[in-house]
Amino acid sequence: MDSNPNLPESALPLHAVHGEFDKLGQPGAQPNCQSTLLACMLKTAEELNNRKMQTIRFSQPLINLNGQGVIFPQTINVLQGQSGVHKSRVAGMFASLLLNRRNTAAGTLGFELELESDSVVCYMDTERNLNDQLPYALQCIQVNAGFNIQDQLDHFVFTSLLEFRREERISALEAYLAYLRDQFTQHIFIILDVVSDCVSDFNRTEDSMRLIDMLNVMVNRYNATFLCVIHENPNQQKARGHLGTELFNKATTAIQLAAEQNGEGVPSDIIRLRFIKCRNTKAPLPVYARIDPDTKLLTEADQEEIQELRIGRQRKASEAEVLEFLEGLSIGQQYTKTELLKQLGQQFEASAKILGQRLDEIAATSRTFYAQGHICILQKQRNRQTFYTIKIQPQNEELLVSIGQ
């Protein structure tokens, strides 16, 4: 790497810093590589020591929901869900909110800017075609923010990785983010839609960690915030692959989108936004939304209809409702089958036989769910009695599930 030793490491191109880490420990690694990394670490130690001796002022939220902070500056955040639950539309809603800057954007479901913001919004797409799908989505973001489609906004930039080969995408992303950092001094809100398409293989540890290392450098050394959109594994509640697991671990806020189902398990047109991880605050209550057929905007769903769907699921003791019940149990605690069925019976109208079948299906298929900020499974054990335990999903099992999909 040809770098100027007089430059601080935060001024080096992102890919250059990453390249130095790649060289460390390899055969033939040059002393200047190790000395550069040592200089970076010593500077970090010096900065930490200076901050340690000062009064710490925590960052104010960038975006709140009903007065409660949900997105904070200089963080990594995740927006996950199965196909067809409007992940990109919700990501676009956040983009419109930040572009508008005055809390008058359309269809924001109660989300608001906490502080006056001069953020630049960067939308990085990987899926939609460049002829009509992506241009139309960008038009919607701009119009919902209160602008015309002809307006050239200085604080809205966008591009696509669609035409790059998989193995080229992370390098292209690194180059573009380094370019943005040279162009703008203010805060940049970066949406990666879909983040798993930014790497050649979302199940390879090396690919996942290279991307996450890059995101960490951006949020720590530059004034940037990421919203990473990612698909969930089919029939599972976790973000796809090793990348999804690591992103969830690193995320400050993780939002899950899912279609509300009726008692027969048929998805409705109501989408639930659920906060499955909030590192900085208590998780807000879920938001229920649907697409308005006339305006095509996200709008809050009717509470009576939401309650009707919930009652139908409780009567049938649907898998989704039983999983939600399990999320409230203590991780690691053993429950006898009798004890667990008694608790379920107090909440559901279904018979003990049906409830037992639901538990056995969830345990046998290793269905994942979120409990206390962890990805968990239900484990069944038989001795003299049958016991169930909520356990954090082992990493190797998660990887096998992802590869099997």
**Which pLDDT band, with edges at 50, 70 and 90, does 361 fall under?**
very high
Please report the pLDDT score of residue 22 as a whole number: 43
Asked if residues 29 and 36 have their Cβ atoms less than 8 Å apart, the reply is no
pLDDT tens digits, 277-304? 999 999 999 999 999 998 889 999 999 9
Between CA 83 and CA 9 the distance in angstroms is 40
pLDDT tens digits, 186-218? 999 999 999 999 999 999 989 999 999 999 989
Q: What are phi and psi of 256, to 5 degrees?
A: -105, 130
Q: Is the pTM of this model over 0.75?
A: yes
DSSP class per residue in 188-210:
EEEEEETGGGGSS-TT-HHHHHH
Q: Which DSSP symbol is given to 72?
A: -
Q: Which SS3 state, helix, strand or coil, does residue 327 take?
A: coil
Please report the pLDDT score of residue 349 as a whole number: 84
Please report the pLDDT score of residue 37 as a whole number: 85
Between CA 58 and CA 55 the distance in angstroms is 10
pLDDT tens digits, 86-119? 999 999 999 999 999 888 899 999 999 987 778 9
Between CA 18 and CA 205 the distance in angstroms is 16
Tokens linked to 1? 């790497």
Residue 263 has pLDDT above 50, yes or no: yes
Asked if residues 10 and 222 have their Cβ atoms less than 8 Å apart, the reply is yes
